[in-house]
Structure 1
Amino acid sequence: MSASSSPVLPTSAFADGPRLLADVGGTNARFALEVAAGHITLVEVLPCADYPSLSAALQAYLALPHIAAAGGQAVRHAVIAIANPVDGDFLSMTNHHWSFSIRAMREECGFTTLDVVNDFTALARSLPQLSSEQKHQVGAGTARPNTAIGLIGAGTGLGVSGLIPSHGGWIALQSEGGHVSFAPFNEVEVSILQFAWREYEHVSAERLISGDGLELIYRALADRAGVPAEDLPAAEITRRALAGESQLCDDVIEAFCCMLGTVAGNVAVTLGALGGIYIGGGIVPRLGARFDRSGFRARFERKGRFANYVSQVPTFVITAQYPAFLGASAILSEKLASL
């Protein structure tokens, strides 16, 4: 499977028309059409802030001339992978102001089928399909076949999921593991946590290991160093660090990577993820070689009596551009096959 932004001429199009795939985060909503099994095309990324509702963004995508020409107005089956817990019919996003009823949206859009799943559940389902070119290993370890796989990813929030092998394939876990309480590893992280407590009664892992978390870590380290903190967004903190323009910003990236290593190691021992830990989200892939040489892997393996156990678990950065579409497609196909 591959995701493309250019039209594909499938050899065997779906008889009931193209299927809509959506991957909705707190910042952007990504849409694509699956015109035949495995042929995912016409990807568009729409800023969430530009639309009053998810339904408005979805219908704006389907109304684009080149999408309509490809059968967008004929879509009957759709799946939305969303950065939010999915429990019942009504959803209110954690990291954006959108809220909606699944049933009402299905009726409004004229869909026969509308499935809504957690975005990291969809991303988890994509993992067995990733090629060697779509992932990058950091550190040692070898994946064992037919064992659990863990997934963690930082972006607008911190997503956590996993895959458990079963006789019928894989079972994706629906998890909100990013909201576990943050646990500091050293004195620097204790000071960061103490600074965060000034703003939040409960400091979750997501409060620090996310885009907003980069900004919070920056303010905390500036306070610790006794220097004034500039009003820097996460993207600028990252840019200055990668450009070698700011030691403070580089310290932020290092702290972020180490914290991610702690949580990734926790996921590994919690799931028994001998099949590997995969790292998604928008932040880590942008760090490139800086992530490879960070303290992430060393921290990942710092598990005391279980250090040898965790050292055998490989860690991979997902480099595929739109991997959640692959998992969303599999989930929708299974749902339609069961009807």
Structure 2
Amino acid sequence: MARPSDNETNLPFPILVGDIGGTNARFALLLDAFAEPKQFPFVRTADFANIDDALQQCILDKSSVQPRSAILALAGPIEGDEVPLTNCPWVVRPRDMIANLGFEDVLLVNDFEAQALAIASLTDGEREKIGPGVERAAASRAVLGPGTGLGVAGLVHARHTWFPVPGEGGHVDVGPRSERDYQIWPFLEPIEGRISAEQLLCGRGIMNIYHSVCAADGIDAPLETPADVTAKALAHEDRAAVETVSLFSTYLGRVAGDMAMIFMAKGGVFLAGGISQKILPALRGPEFRAAFEDKAPHSELLRTMPTYVVTHPVAALAGLAAFARMPDRFGVATEGRHWKR
């Protein structure tokens, strides 16, 4: 009978690490503490009814080396023996994985907890700095990333150990500030009467802003996908798209600044996720950093904090692999999240 274990974090190799998002799942196999992760092709979550089928068909059937344990980062809070994902119909059942797929150990963490593990050791080649600020080596950090949803996590350092702080910060309230905000806000689509950060800062958030800009100006909204909007914006081929990405950058800067103050992130604020990488040319512009620093009475404090776009293609997997190799370097809470045969 599989059972949640105590706080042991030394899982047996080979270890499968996985980052399960709302749209894509990414996996890699770590043979031992010294090997580079062997990455598998991305898995579209919509192509499989459940995670067990995806693991069997895309990983276990395709590898001659069978993993003994798994560390999976999930987009959503982790509670109990059945963990539903926030933006995906999959439900993760660690006890079934152990019984049916041959794992000895399964450890579940939040997806942005994995991103936080990654930012502890990114090289300059795996991130791009945006604006001023000086990184303090052992200071707290924050990571947020717009994708299918908006993930947020913190990373704090104490007693020579990095402690990731998972949460649901992407669902904080946001409100209008500028005159233009007040023009478009009535047209934004709320959830149960409120506008959360995730309603603006994710793929559907791009469309939410775009449709509201067009509605406020009384013009048609012919673009149909976030990729269409960002492509037209970066090519300067559609005025509404250009304004959408400009506003997106501004709102991302505001929320990033909020998280910087919450975590006192003198070690930096890191923008992860696919959208941040895709709109990097826009984030290099003035809107993001100006909004990040516009935090009176603490604007001077915010100017000292560096901001980065994570350019590592699979940062969450890198973070999980770092933890798998050296679990003692990280203070990852495992109680209620670690199942053993």
| Same-fold call, TM cutoff 0.5 | yes
Distance 2:235 2:168 in 1: 34
Question: Match for 2:231: what amino acid?
Answer: R
Instruction: Note the residue ranges of structure 2 that are not aligned, 5 or more in a row.
Output: 1-9, 335-339
Instruction: Tell me the equivalent position of 1:156.
Output: 148
Which secondary structure does the structure 2 equivalent of 1:296 belong to? helix
TM-superposed CA distance for 1:198, in Å, is: 6.1
The farther-off stretch of 238-247 and 215-224 is 238-247
Is residue 99 of structure 1 aligned with residue 91 of structure 2? yes
Deviations 1:236-277 (A, max 9, x none): 111111122101101000000000000000001111111110
TM-score w.r.t. structure 1 length?
A: 0.89
Distance 2:192 2:240 in 1: 23
Question: Match for 2:99: what amino acid?
Answer: E
Deviations 1:79-138 (A, max 9, x none): 111111112221111111111322222322111111111010011011121111000000
The alpha-carbon distance between structure 1 residues 334 and 104, as it changes in their structure 2 partners (threshold 3 A), is farther
Instruction: Note the residue ranges of structure 1 that are not aligned, 5 or more in a row.
Output: 1-13
Which secondary structure does the structure 1 equivalent of 2:73 belong to? strand
Distance 1:252 1:266 in 2: 21
Aligned ranges 1:19-30 → 2 under 5 Å: 19-30=15-26
Instruction: Tell me the equivalent position of 1:255.
Output: 247
Instruction: Tell me the equivalent position of 2:30.
Output: 34
Is residue 317 of structure 1 aligned with residue 309 of structure 2? yes
Instruction: Tell me the equivalent position of 2:49.
Output: 52
The alpha-carbon distance between structure 1 residues 199 and 306, as it changes in their structure 2 partners (threshold 3 A), is closer
Is residue 117 of structure 1 aligned with residue 109 of structure 2? yes
Aligned ranges 1:1-16 → 2 under 5 Å: none
TM-score w.r.t. structure 2 length?
A: 0.89
Contact 2:33-2:324 at 8 Å conserved across structures: no
Contact 1:19-1:76 at 8 Å conserved across structures: yes
Is residue 127 of structure 1 aligned with residue 119 of structure 2? yes
Instruction: Tell me the equivalent position of 1:4.
Output: none
Is residue 287 of structure 1 aligned with residue 275 of structure 2? no
Instruction: Tell me the equivalent position of 2:320.
Output: 328
Is residue 194 of structure 1 aligned with residue 186 of structure 2? yes
Contact 1:115-1:332 at 8 Å conserved across structures: no
Distance 1:252 1:155 in 2: 16
Which secondary structure does the structure 2 equivalent of 1:283 belong to? helix
Instruction: Tell me the equivalent position of 1:9.
Output: none
TM-superposed CA distance for 1:326, in Å, is: 1.9
The structure with higher relative contact order (CA 8 Å, sep 6+) is 2
Distance 1:137 1:95 in 2: 30
Instruction: Tell me the equivalent position of 1:143.
Output: 135
TM-superposed CA distance for 1:61, in Å, is: 1.9
The alpha-carbon distance between structure 1 residues 35 and 198, as it changes in their structure 2 partners (threshold 3 A), is closer
Determine which structure has the larger helix proportion and give its number: 1
